[in-house]
Amino acid sequence: MDKATGAIDVLVIGGSGAYHFPAEAFGVETRRLTVETPFGPSAPIRILECDDRAVGFLSRHGENSYSMTAPYVNYRANVYAAKALGVQQILSWSGPGAIHEAFHPGDLVVPDDLIDLTRQRPLTFFEGKGIGFIRQNPVFCPEIRQALQGAIGELNRPCHTRATYVCTEGPRLETPAEIRYMKQIGGDLVGMTLVPEAFLARELEICYAPLCYISNYAEGVRELPYEKGVLFEGTLPGHDRHRVDAALSAFPKIVRGTLRHLASLHRDCSCKDAMLRYRSRGDIGDDWRGWIG
């Protein structure tokens, strides 16, 4: 953190379950703020002192409970706020379901690819502008992925490092036929939160990568009875729930370890130059606020 400007260079976006963690799990909270943006106010951002480093923490779905479902998160406001605070790297987490039998509830995954099946979400900052035709490979920042894998390895926890995340509109869960389709097109995980978050971060040249924990089996992956009144209505078998809880409880240590690894890297990735072609030919200036449509 730049003490003179109050800027931070890393934002952690907490997904499902983030609201259960006290601030002390990640660091000492020094202040809390909400950033006004052209897209409305961001979600509250806590500034934490974590191992002598100030980082931001945003709970995507709410401060105290899962009060904001994925289709209605103001992704543009949150990513705009990150850029306004000086953020260069976003570490995100998500709890998708398993499409393939190789993945099980409680598994940790650092995905490397993404399929967008959302339908109604605003997907770009550049509405009405002739910019934004930018490459999406690698989909996620290789340096953050490297840091995540290093932190998980230090905890001696197994982790899948190749997986394709399919993002659906929600808030409903998927039908068995939809899951069969996603499997046929190469999906491994199904969730609702990485789109448009990952794409918006790239548009503003912010490094972005997610850490996933498998929260349940997607519909039809296994024959599972319907359970009334419980989370996922039976697609998370009772004997697997402790594995999901254990994976989620490891997130504060993983996040802190990832931040330590990131401190030794130098942003040699391509993320920071996503809009270079447009700057070089004079379509946009250096002030990113002028890029917004």
* Residue-wise pLDDT tens digits, 78-124: 999 999 999 999 999 999 999 999 999 999 999 999 999 999 999 99
Out of 18-22, 220-224, 258-262, pick the least confident. Answer: 18-22
Task: Look over the chain and give the mean of its residue pLDDT values, rounded to a whole number.
Answer: 93
Q: In the block, which residue shows the tokens 């931001």? A: 56
The answer, yes or no, to whether residue 9 has pLDDT greater than 70, is: yes
Examine residue 216 and state whether it is found in any structural domain, yes or no: yes
pLDDT of residue 230: 84
For residue 130, count other CB atoms closer than 10 A to its CB: 9
**Distance separating alpha carbons of residues 118 and 120, to the nearest angstrom:** 6
Pairing of strands 28-33, 40-41: unpaired
pLDDT of residue 81: 98
**Distance separating alpha carbons of residues 282 and 149, to the nearest angstrom:** 38
- Give the confidence band of 218 by pLDDT, cuts at 50, 70, 90: very high
Examine residue 2 and state whether it is found in any structural domain, yes or no: no
Examine residue 188 and state whether it is found in any structural domain, yes or no: yes
Alpha-carbon distances of 139 from 118, 207, 274, rounded to whole Å: 17, 10, 12
In tens, the pLDDT along 228-250 reads 988 889 889 888 999 999 999 99
pLDDT of residue 6: 58
Percent of the chain residues past pLDDT 90, beyond the cut: 82
Pairing of strands 45-50, 28-33: antiparallel
Percent of the chain residues past pLDDT 70, beyond the cut: 98
**Distance separating alpha carbons of residues 202 and 205, to the nearest angstrom:** 5
Whether the CB-CB separation of 12 and 55 falls below 8 Å is answered with yes
For 199, left (φ over 0), alpha (ψ -120 to 50), or beta?
A: alpha
- Residues 155-168: what's their mean pLDDT? 97
Provide the residue range defining the domain that includes 103: 10-283
Examine residue 133 and state whether it is found in any structural domain, yes or no: yes
Examine residue 59 and state whether it is found in any structural domain, yes or no: yes
pLDDT of residue 181: 98
**Crossing angle (nearest 10°) for helices 142-154 and 251-263:** 120
CATH number at residue 224: 3.40.50.1580
pTM score over 0.85 = yes
Examine residue 293 and state whether it is found in any structural domain, yes or no: no
**Distance separating alpha carbons of residues 242 and 161, to the nearest angstrom:** 22
- Give the confidence band of 1 by pLDDT, cuts at 50, 70, 90: very low
User: Exposure string (b/e) for 235-270, b if CB count within 10 Å is 16 or more?
Assistant: bbeeebbebbeebbebbbbbbbbbbbbbeebeeebb
The answer, yes or no, to whether residue 54 has pLDDT greater than 60, is: yes
In tens, the pLDDT along 195-213 reads 999 999 999 999 999 999 9
**Distance separating alpha carbons of residues 189 and 288, to the nearest angstrom:** 33
The count of domains in the chain is 1
Radius of gyration (C-alpha) of the chain in whole angstroms: 19
pLDDT of residue 231: 83
Examine residue 290 and state whether it is found in any structural domain, yes or no: no
**Distance separating alpha carbons of residues 249 and 26, to the nearest angstrom:** 12
> Bigger pLDDT: 274 or 224?
274
Examine residue 213 and state whether it is found in any structural domain, yes or no: yes
